[in-house]
Each structure stands twice: as C-alpha cells, then as structure tokens.
Structure 1
Amino acid sequence: MEAVLPDPTRFAGKAVIVSGAARGIGEGIAERFAAEGAKVLLVDVIPEVVETAARLGQVALVKSVTDRDAGEVMAKAALDAFGRIDILVNNAGIGGSKRLMESDDALIDRFLDTNLAAVLRVTRAVVPHLPRPGGRIVNISSIFGITGYPGTTAYAVAKAGVAQFTRQLAGELAPEGILVNAVAPGLIATPMTTGHRQNALYTRLIVEGTPVERMGTPADIAGPVAFLCSEDAAFVTGVVMPVDGGFLAARHGKI
C-alpha cells in the first residue's frame, strides 16, 4: 500500500508545540506537521532535539516537562517564535515501569509526574493562548492505559490518567471551541521500546498478538494526530483513539 502523502498546506499558518520531540513518536509527529505547512516548536529534555528541529527547519527548546515552569516556558518560546499557538501535542513520557511490588516511591513518583502530572501542568499553561474557536490538544496515551499488562503498573496508571484527563478536559473546553483528543499507541518501533522488543514474552504477547502482524512506526501515530487536529475532525472531541494494529479489538496468538 502506498503511503498517504502529506498535504503541504493543511496546517499553513498554524503553530504547534510537540513535547518529547527529539526522536521516536514525537519526532514523527513534528515531522508530519512540518510537512503539512505548520510551524513547530520541538521540546525535549534531550539536547538531540536541537538537531531534529534543525533538520526539519523548525524551532527547538531543550526543557524537561517535569520542570514546574515548563508550560509557561514552552508557551513563551512558541509565542516568541511564531506569535501564536494553535495546537498542543503532549507526547513526552518515559517507559520502563515495573510490577507494583517492585516499584519504590521514587519510581512511582517519577512515572506519575512525567507521564501524567506534567501533562496537566503544561496544558494548563498553554490553554489560555489557544484560539477560540480552533484550538486543538492531542495527548499521547497508550493501549496499556486501556487494558492491563503485567509489569507496567505505574506507567499504565499514568497513561490511563491521560485518557481520563482527555475526556475531562474535552468537556470543559468544547464550549470554548477547543477540541481535546488522545491517541493510544500500540507497540511502536522507537528507541524507548527497544528493550521491550528484545523480550521474548513481550514479543509473543504483543507483536504476535497484533492482527496486522507488524509493529507500528512513528508515522503510523503522526497521521492520526494530524487528522485529530484538522478540520476533518471538527466534530470529534473527548476521543481516545487506539492506533494499535487491531490489538485491542482482536488480539490473537499465532494459530
């Protein structure tokens, strides 16, 4: 199947903030928006984000979303660079969780702060700058925020929180013309999932259990994110969209 070519004018004149954009899913999302005419602020704690942004001809900000002033700093950087903010994509997050009884307080705090609380704080700071109507927010959740999988407790709880935050905020902001949705990726081939993809049990349960019989790519996530921010999704809000190759709908093992 041929790839769908980006529309170079779909987001012309729009300004987008993408967190966790140095590589992986965030890089793919930033690349898609740039290819469709948007101006993009790529944010990441990893300095590599500067190189990624330069390759895309966009603007970088080295900043951790867990900093208490992250949202304000991100908003100011986008406003200084573009004069506006139309779209916020909360993608930054960490992986590598454990079973509950193996999770100390530091691990629990780190996952809840990075993968959930930071999303609330950053969004709170950016929302006042979004256009009314027309603002868009897309949060990156996970299929593990929808279904259980052993050994991912703090991660899964945080991503479930992102899903509920999406629904909650959609109800609060829709009357103002701001739409809020989320994408819940399945297994995506990124640097963050390298360890999982080398685990035989994980591969058997997740990769072989995916009906389309392959892992996803960052581009597989970037397309749905772009759709949710487009006028084609003008009547869509509060949705948590699985993008998982059919895993949640009809997971199966090899027959």
Structure 2
Amino acid sequence: MPDPARSHGKVAIVTGAARGIGEAIAERLAGEGARVLLVDLLPEVEETARRLGQVALIRSVTDRDAGQAMADAALAVFGRIDILVNNAGIGGSKRLAESDDALIDRFIDTNLAAVLRVTRAVLAHLPRPGGRIVNISSIFGITGYPGTTAYAVAKAGIAQFTRQLAGELAPEGIRVNAVAPGLIATPMTAGHMQNALYRRLMVEGTPMERPGTPADIAGPVAFLASDDAAFVTGAVLPVDGGFLAARHGRV
C-alpha cells in the first residue's frame, strides 16, 4: 500500500503522464503526498491531472525548450522541484535493415536525446542534497529482442545515462536511478499483444505468466524517488516478472 506521507511536500515532474505508466506514476506519487506536474503532448493529460488534483503541461519532450518549460511551470506553481521522472517515450521500432533515417532519428531523439536535454534543464533546480531522478529504461535495453533496434539502443542509452549521471551527481547529494520494465499492459503495447510471436516470447516467456500493469512500475519508481532508497543510486532495476532471470514459462 502507498505510504501517504512518504513523498509529502515533494514536487515531482512526470513526463508522458497522460496515460499508461506515466499516469500510474503520477497517481502513486500524488497518493504519497507529492505535488505533481504531469507533462504530455496529448491534451488528455489535462483530464488526468484534474482527476488527480494536480497540474498539467501539454508539451512534447522533443521540443528543444521542453525541459526549461517544465521547470518554469513547476516553479511557477509549486515553487520548487524535487523529483524528475523521465517516462515519456515511443514504441514500435523495426529491424535495422528496415529502419530509415527518419525512424532512427525519431527513436533516438524521443527516447534518449530528449531525456538528456530535459534532465539538463531541470537539473539546475533540484535541491542539493535531496534531488532525485528516475528514468524509465526497458529490459530491451538490457537484452536483445528481434525487430526493436533503434528502440533498444535508445533504452540501453538510458541505462548508461543513469549510471553516468549517478556517478557525477552523487557528491552533490542527487540520486539517479532507473526502472527497466518488462512487458507492461498499456495502450502502447496493446497492438503487440495481438502478435502470436510476441505473445509467445514475452507472455509465455515470463515466469510470472502475465504482463505487468502500470501500477507494477509505479511502486518501484516511488521507492527509488523516496528516502527509503537513500543509499541507492546508479541502479537499473528490472521490473519484468522474472523475464531476465529465467526466460521461460511453465515447464
């Protein structure tokens, strides 16, 4: 159960928060007492924020000034920023031979470069000590999966970015960690679930024999953003129902 006092008084920015994993993260942090700026390019983020009693910003993370816009909005409303959750991203990559320049650029920019730019802009406003950054990587950034080249490379970059930044910022008292989800049932993965090969490899290959839910990711993110993880930095935590540990279903 969420601890309603664990993030009390903290201010968090959550990107990609209109629905799916980002919505669940925002809801969990708000439920633990945080004030949250929900950021998404989808207008429905405003309805999500209203439901949670929080604040929305309609913005694409790929805008070059998106990070500064987020920082300005959070500071204007809440007066501070304690937590940044880099969740926004896209799926639906292809094999390298089928990936044109536009596709490669889109995945690398949205899923990797935008995270660096947003973090750079928000970083100046995080408290020292006490700032927390949680990035969303993927198990496909840890292990290979056919037909996901640009996506997987970008998510592997997020994992390394997490480790790199954790080392740089630890002396300043800022912790940087990542969660690497496995198969999570969201609007982004709904189409893939209709693919027989994908279901066989991902669902039947997950020892817990089910997809995860957005709430399954929100809990670990809230932990990494909390004082309960005070000595945790540079970690990339797989949350995948056992997929990486033992990739098989019922024997």
Give the Å deviation of 1:247.
Answer: 0.1
Contact kept? 1:205, 1:253, Cα under 8 Å: no
Contact kept? 1:65, 1:92, Cα under 8 Å: yes
1:200 maps to 2:196: yes
Rounded Cα–Cα distance in structure 2 between residues aligned with 1:66 and 1:225: 23
SS in 1 for 2:36: strand
Question: Which runs of 4 or more aligned residues in structure 1 lie more than 6 Å from their structure 2 counterparts after TM superposition?
Answer: none
SS in 2 for 1:191: coil
Rounded Cα–Cα distance in structure 1 between residues aligned with 2:193 and 2:21: 16
Q: Aligned residue for 1:29?
A: 25
Q: Which amino acid is the alignment partner of residue 183 of structure 1?
A: V
Q: Aligned residue for 2:9?
A: 13
Rounded Cα–Cα distance in structure 1 between residues aligned with 2:77 and 2:212: 33
**1:160-239 residue pairs with structure 2 within 5 A?**
160-239=156-235
Give the total of aligned pairs: 251
Give the Å deviation of 1:160.
Answer: 0.2
Contact kept? 2:209, 2:249, Cα under 8 Å: no
Q: Aligned residue for 1:106?
A: 102
Percentage of identical aligned residues: 84
Q: Aligned residue for 1:43?
A: 39
The gaps in structure 2 that reach 5 residues or longer are none
Task: Specify whether residues 253 and 212 from structure 1 end up closer, same or farther in structure 2 by C-alpha distance, changes over 3 A only.
Answer: closer
1:150 maps to 2:146: yes
Aligned alpha-carbon RMSD (Å): 0.6
> Out of 98, 119, 132, which is 2:115 matched to?
119
Give the Å deviation of 1:7.
Answer: 1.2
Residues 194-243 of structure 1, C-alpha deviations (whole Å, 9 max, x = no match): 11111110000011010111110000000000000111110000000000
Contact kept? 2:129, 2:172, Cα under 8 Å: yes
Rounded Cα–Cα distance in structure 2 between residues aligned with 1:217 and 1:198: 17
Give the Å deviation of 1:8.
Answer: 1.1
**1:88-99 residue pairs with structure 2 within 5 A?**
88-99=84-95
